[in-house]
């Protein structure tokens, strides 16, 4: 079963169970998926759906931080509830050690390709390779921090 089909089935289950928060979040997710499909004139596969979920989750995290800074815990709680629903559609995340090991392998591969140790100026190349390899499996902010650390040291 594709991830998109699972999300649609979960929406139907949330309707039957009258879970308004979960239903609203799933509808928002399906709308974002449909919007991306219409904009790009493609049918999203599981990787594309995970990218949309990841984007929505990042928006929720940013909103939570902004609401908490403004003292609006009521709105932050709504965003947290939505984030929990969205998190269920992401694959298991890599641990910090696994991300660091993957980034070090990418840096080592780039060093062999360039014939020299990559410098901070090569961050774009490393991030491009890391994004291709780790998209959906790791938080890209965490990957970016690991790349900066690997290139600095």
Average pLDDT in the chain: 91
pLDDT at residue 15, as a whole number: 97
Overall domain count for the chain: 2
The range of the structural domain enclosing residue 51 comes to: 3-87
Same domain flag for 102 and 135? yes
Residue 126 burial (CB count, 10 A)? 23
Q: Output the domain CATH number for residue 36.
A: 1.10.1510.10
Is-contact 147 123, C-beta < 8 A?
Answer: yes
Burial 80-116 (b: 16+ CB within 10 A, else e): bebbebbeebbeeebeeeebbebbeebbeebeeeeee
Whether 61 shows a pLDDT value over 90: the answer reads yes
Q: Are residues 23 and 77 in the same domain?
A: yes
Do 37 and 67 share a structural domain? yes
Q: Are 11 and 27 in contact (CB under 8 A)?
A: yes
pTM: 0.77
Check whether 133 has a pLDDT greater than 80. yes
pLDDT, tens digit, for every residue of 70-108?
Answer: 999 999 999 999 999 999 998 888 888 898 889 999 988
Question: What digits encode the pLDDT tens for the residues 23-50?
Answer: 999 999 999 999 999 999 999 998 889 8
């Amino acid at each position: 079963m594709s991830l998109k089909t699972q999300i649609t089935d979960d929406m139907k289950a949330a309707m039957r169970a009258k879970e308004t928060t979960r239903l609203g979040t799933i509808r928002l997710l399906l709308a974002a998926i449909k919007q991306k499909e219409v904009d790009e004139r493609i049918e999203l596969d599981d990787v594309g759906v995970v990218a949309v979920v990841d984007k929505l989750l990042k928006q929720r995290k940013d909103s939570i931080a902004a609401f908490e800074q403004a003292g609006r815990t009521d709105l932050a709680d709504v965003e947290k509830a939505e984030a929990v629903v969205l998190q269920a559609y992401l694959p298991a995340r890599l641990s910090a050690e696994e991300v660091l090991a993957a980034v070090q392998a990418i840096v080592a591969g780039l060093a062999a390709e360039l014939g020299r140790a990559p410098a901070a100026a090569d961050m774009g190349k490393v991030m491009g390779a890391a994004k291709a390899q780790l998209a959906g499996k790791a938080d890209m902010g965490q990957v970016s921090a690991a790349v900066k650390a690997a290139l600095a040291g």
